[in-house]
Amino acid sequence: MEGPGVGFHLDLGAAEGFTFHRDPSGGAVREINLLGLGPKMLVSDLSTSQARVLRWRLRVLGNTAVEFGAVPANLQLAVCTLQERSEALHKCLKETGNAFCVGFCAQITVGSQLPFRVPVVKGTVVELLVQTGKAQFTVENPTDTWEARWENKHRIHTEYRGPSVIHFTQDFASDLDVKLALTAWAKASFEVLHVCGGPMCGNQAVEPQNSDTQATERIRHLLGNSKL
């Protein structure tokens, strides 16, 4: 199997207003949409205590105000128990006493406290690779598109002239159990490009894309060339 990844916390996602569209066979989740306003957060089904490497590969189709990163798994469990779910990745900074903040936001996103701001346009492909103590992010932007930005409190669109590929890493405490996470706002939509290979993924698998071969090699490198 090429380009394995993990699935999504479907029950929590549905409660937050996310819808999961499957392929005609009724199996693979191919698209995720957010109904209503945001911010709302979606997390992975597995954490780093359950899988050696967590991976998502998603294409941004809708609102480009987004955040991608990781959140402590025990924090997510706690807020679910209290029915006071975190609404955004950057709010976990406050909830963990400023001790944890892993991820990035799109440049258009207002108010995010995440440490990196990255250009994200419609059609951007975002890949998250997280293992114990380390997160890797790759952002692939199309070159023939338009970028949204704020100017005098108005949202305007200009021709995108930024880099086509952005790659960066973040380290965090190796004893921290985390899940992948994204924050979405109104009219958000994501195409699922990865293959779900975890034991709890069920029917969330999708057919591998051609570009997943390189992703598989990166995962093997993270695992020290162990067999996937």
From first to last of its 228 residues, what are the pLDDT tens digits of the chain?
A: 235 689 999 988 898 899 999 877 767 789 999 998 888 999 999 999 999 999 999 999 999 999 999 988 876 544 433 334 556 665 665 555 545 678 999 988 877 778 788 999 999 999 999 999 999 999 999 987 767 666 666 666 667 777 889 999 999 888 889 999 999 999 999 999 987 754 444 444 434 344 444 444 544 444 444 333
Question: Residue 78: its pLDDT value, please?
Answer: 43
Is 163 within the bounds of a domain? Answer: yes
Measured distance CA(210)–CA(212) in Å, rounded: 5
Is 228 within the bounds of a domain? Answer: no
Question: Residue 18: its pLDDT value, please?
Answer: 94
Domain count, the chain: 1
Is 36 within the bounds of a domain? Answer: yes
Is 227 within the bounds of a domain? Answer: no
Query: In 3D, which of 184, 207, 210 has the Cα closest to residue 5?
Result: 207
For residue 126, what are its two tokens?
């975002």
Is residue 97 a contact partner of residue 119, using CB atoms and an 8 Å limit?
A: no
Is 86 within the bounds of a domain? Answer: yes
Measured distance CA(210)–CA(49) in Å, rounded: 29
What string of DSSP letters covers 177-210?
-EEEEEEE-TT-EEEE-SEE-STT-TT---PPPT
Question: Half-sphere exposure (CA, 13 Å, Cβ side) for 223?
Answer: 18
Question: Residue 197: its pLDDT value, please?
Answer: 53
Is 212 within the bounds of a domain? Answer: yes
Is 46 within the bounds of a domain? Answer: yes
Is 201 within the bounds of a domain? Answer: yes
Question: Residue 88: its pLDDT value, please?
Answer: 63
The CATH code of the domain that includes 103 is: 2.60.120
Measured distance CA(8)–CA(83) in Å, rounded: 19
Residue 73, domain extent: 4-146+154-222
